[in-house]
C-alpha cells in the first residue's frame, strides 16, 4: 500500500491544473486517444489503486490550452489536499501541471457550480511566424484595424442567442449566453482577446475571435455583427479561429467556494 493511501483520508478534492493542449485530443476522455481527462484519471487511479472519475469545469477542444482548468474527484482515501500538488507533480507528464488543490464539500461540482469563465486568445501579428510561439498563438501576417475590431467585439457583449457563433452541431439546445466582457489588448507583437461570460458554447470563443479578426481585415463591417446574431445561423458569421491561440484563463465559483480560482 502506498504512502498516499496510508496517510490520507476520504473526501472531495478540487484540483486546478494548467496544460499545453498541443499533445491532447481535447479534455474529454476518448477511447484510444490521449486526452487530459484520460491522463488525469489514469494517473490518480493508479496512485490511489482504485478507479477514480474526474469531473472538469468544461471541455477544451483538441489543441486548446488551459491556465486554470478545474476538476474534482472523490476519494475514499488518499493524500490530504495540501499534498496533491506535490504528489501529482511527480506523476503527471510535463504538459499537465497541478497548480492548486483544496478539499471541498460534496455540494461542489467543478462544472455545475461555475458562475463565470474567462478565456484568452492570442494572435501573433508578424509577417513571419515565430517557431517558439506557433503552438500558443495564431499568426496573422496582415495589419488589423483594431478600432473596428473593438467596435465589433462590443456588439457581442451582453445577453444574446449565440447560435451564429457556435458549432452548427453544438449539443446545447439553449444557445443564450451572457458575455460580460470581450476586451482586446495590444502589445508590441500580439493582440490578446479576453472573453468572460456565464458559459460558452462549442467553438464560441474561436468563432467570435475569427469573426472579429475578419472585421479587422476588412472582410466584414463591424455593424454587420448585430445582424449575424439576429440571423441565428453559423453561416452568417466569420471563420473559426484555430485552436492553438485559445486558453481557458480562469474559472469563478460562488463566494463560498472561493470565487475565482486564480487571482489574476
In whole angstroms, give the CA distance from residue 223 to residue 90. 52
In whole angstroms, give the CA distance from residue 87 to residue 98. 9
Euclidean distance between the first and final Cα of the chain, in Å? Answer: 39
To the question of whether residue 134 is assigned a binding role by annotation, the answer is no
In whole angstroms, give the CA distance from residue 245 to residue 209. 10
Q: Is 61 a catalytic site residue?
A: yes
Q: Which of 6, 42, 61, 105 is catalytic?
A: 61
Which positions are annotated as active-site residues? 61
Residues making up the binding site for substrate: 119
Amino acid at each position: 500500500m502506498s504512502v498516499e493511501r496510508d496517510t490520507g483520508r476520504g473526501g472531495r478534492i478540487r484540483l486546478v491544473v494548467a496544460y499545453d493542449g498541443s499533445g491532447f485530443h481535447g479534455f474529454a476522455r476518448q477511447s484510444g486517444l490521449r486526452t487530459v481527462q484520460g491522463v488525469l484519471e489514469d494517473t490518480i487511479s493508479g496512485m490511489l489503486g482504485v478507479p477514480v472519475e474526474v469531473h472538469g469545469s468544461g471541455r477544451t477542444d483538441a489543441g486548446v490550452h488551459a491556465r486554470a482548468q478545474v476538476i474534482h474527484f472523490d476519494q475514499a482515501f488518499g493524500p490530504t489536499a495540501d499534498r496533491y500538488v506535490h504528489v501529482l507533480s511527480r506523476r503527471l507528464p510535463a504538459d499537465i501541471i497541478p497548480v492548486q488543490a483544496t478539499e471541498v464539500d460534496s455540494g461542489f461540482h467543478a462544472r455545475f457550480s461555475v458562475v463565470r469563465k474567462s478565456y484568452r486568445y492570442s494572435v501573433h501579428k508578424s509577417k513571419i511566424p515565430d517557431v517558439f510561439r506557433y503552438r500558443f498563438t495564431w499568426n496573422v501576417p496582415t495589419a488589423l484595424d483594431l478600432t473596428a475590431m473593438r467596435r465589433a467585439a462590443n456588439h457581442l457583449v451582453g445577453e444574446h442567442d449565440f447560435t451564429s457563433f457556435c458549432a452548427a452541431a453544438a449539443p446545447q439546445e439553449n444557445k443564450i449566453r451572457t458575455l460580460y466582457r470581450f476586451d482586446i489588448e495590444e502589445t508590441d507583437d500580439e493582440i490578446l482577446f479576453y472573453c468572460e461570460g456565464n458559459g460558452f458554447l462549442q467553438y464560441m470563443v474561436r468563432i467570435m475571435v475569427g469573426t472579429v479578426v475578419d472585421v479587422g481585415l476588412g472582410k466584414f463591417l463591424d455593424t454587420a455583427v448585430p445582424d449575424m446574431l439576429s440571423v441565428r445561423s453559423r453561416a452568417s458569421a466569420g471563420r473559426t479561429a484555430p485552436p492553438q491561440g485559445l486558453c481557458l484563463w480562469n474559472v469563478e465559483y460562488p463566494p463560498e467556494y472561493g470565487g475565482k480560482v486564480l487571482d489574476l
